[in-house]
């Protein structure tokens, strides 16, 4: 599936290459131009180097899990099934306890509530958040945890590299003021190169840091409000439609179709649905957690229906 996505979305491939390049460039600059010159005589060199590389390792682990994991694809039917009856009999479906199950008009799968079709993956994804080119995959029910962890470690790595670069730059300026002129003139060609690397890494860290923190915040809000961006947009449109139709016609707004509201759950329970039932420490690790059974719906088995 990952290879197929690469063929369908060249932008996703470029973003993947850019991500790996940015990570390895940051590691190269931090070790070669920050830690070795500024902290080579102390234990801080090893300590900062180990912690920074551990963060990068976790970042790459979470990223690869988000890229290669199944986001929650709804299985395609084995045989071509005529769903025309089901499409027109939503009330009958409700009676059978299948409320919210729909048939996708594009891939023709019989999908659970909150599943949406992704045009890039060309499949329906359970609790689809969005298709992210940075992981070249959909963010859905089964890989949202890895995606959020990837954002978290990218934010941490950006902040850490900013602190290291600024402190090394300050150390360099102090040394230049107190150091002898001969040594300074010897270092002049490489000095420009070092400053260029510092500036590039700072710009990279600020851009990626701000970008991932905004998405990280959006992801947490979407979890604790139990509403994906697709659902937020759909609900906003429905409210707008309802307001315009109630003002233009005499139909009372209470008689208009109402979107299915999700059960109100505690914030911690909603977070556990994404990050698993383990301790908060486990939430930071890209470990597999048992898939949640939202609202008692088991996705592996299709409900009983007539065809």
Binding residues vs Zn ion (CB under 5 A): 104, 106-107, 117-118, 120-121, 124, 131, 138
Minimum Å gap between C-beta 188 and Zn ion is 51
Minimum Å gap between C-beta 19 and Zn ion is 17
Whether 11 is catalytic: no
Minimum Å gap between C-beta 72 and Zn ion is 11
Minimum Å gap between C-beta 80 and Zn ion is 15
Which is the catalytic residue, given 62, 98, 121, 132? 132
Measured from the CB atom, is 104 or 159 closer to Zn ion?
104
State how far the Cα of 175 lies from the Cα of 112, in Å rounded to an integer.
Answer: 64
Measured from the CB atom, is 117 or 242 closer to Zn ion?
117
Measured from the CB atom, is 137 or 158 closer to Zn ion?
137
Question: If you write DSSP's letter for every residue of 189-249 in order, what string do you get?
Answer: HHHHHHHHHHHHHHHHHHHHHHHHHHHHHHHHHHHHTT--HHHHHHHHHHHHHHHHHHHHS
Among 202, 242, 198, 261, CA closest to 33: 198
Measured from the CB atom, is 55 or 151 closer to Zn ion?
151
Among 224, 291, 221, CA closest to 70: 291
Among 4, 148, 155, CA closest to 68: 4
Catalytic residues, by residue number, are: 132
């Amino acid at each position: 599936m990952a290879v197929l996505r690469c063929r369908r979305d060249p932008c996703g491939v470029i973003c993947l290459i850019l991500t790996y390049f940015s990570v390895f460039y940051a590691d190269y600059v931090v070790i070669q131009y920050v830690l070795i010159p500024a902290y080579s005589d102390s234990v801080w060199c090893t300590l900062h180097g180990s912690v920074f590389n551990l963060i990068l390792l976790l970042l790459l682990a979470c990223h690869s899990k988000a890229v290669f994991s199944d986001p929650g694809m709804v299985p395609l039917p084995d045989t071509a099934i005529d769903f025309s009856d089901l499409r027109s009999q939503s009330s009958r479906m409700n009676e059978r306890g299948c409320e919210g199950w729909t048939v996708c008009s594009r891939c023709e799968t019989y999908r659970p509530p909150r599943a949406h079709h992704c045009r890039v993956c060309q499949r329906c994804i359970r609790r689809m958040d969005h298709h992210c080119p940075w992981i070249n995959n959909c963010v859905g029910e089964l890989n949202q945890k890895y995606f959020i962890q990837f954002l978290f470690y990218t934010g941490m790595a950006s902040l850490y590299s900013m602190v290291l670069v600024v402190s090394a730059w300050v150390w360099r300026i102090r040394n230049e003021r107190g150091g002898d002129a001969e040594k300074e003139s010897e270092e002049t060609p490489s000095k420009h190169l070092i400053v260029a690397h510092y500036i590039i890494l700072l710009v990279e860290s600020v851009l990626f840091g701000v970008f991932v923190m905004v998405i990280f915040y959006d992801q947490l809000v979407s979890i604790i409000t139990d509403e994906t961006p697709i659902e937020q947009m759909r609900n906003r449109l429905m409210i707008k439609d309802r307001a315009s139709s109630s003002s233009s016609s005499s139909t009372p707004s209470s008689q208009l179709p109402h979107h299915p509201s999700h059960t109100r759950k505690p914030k911690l329970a909603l977070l556990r649905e994404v990050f698993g039932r383990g301790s908060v420490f486990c939430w930071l690790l890209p470990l597999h957690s048992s898939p949640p059974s939202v609202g008692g719906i088991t996705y592996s088995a299709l409900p009983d229906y007539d065809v």
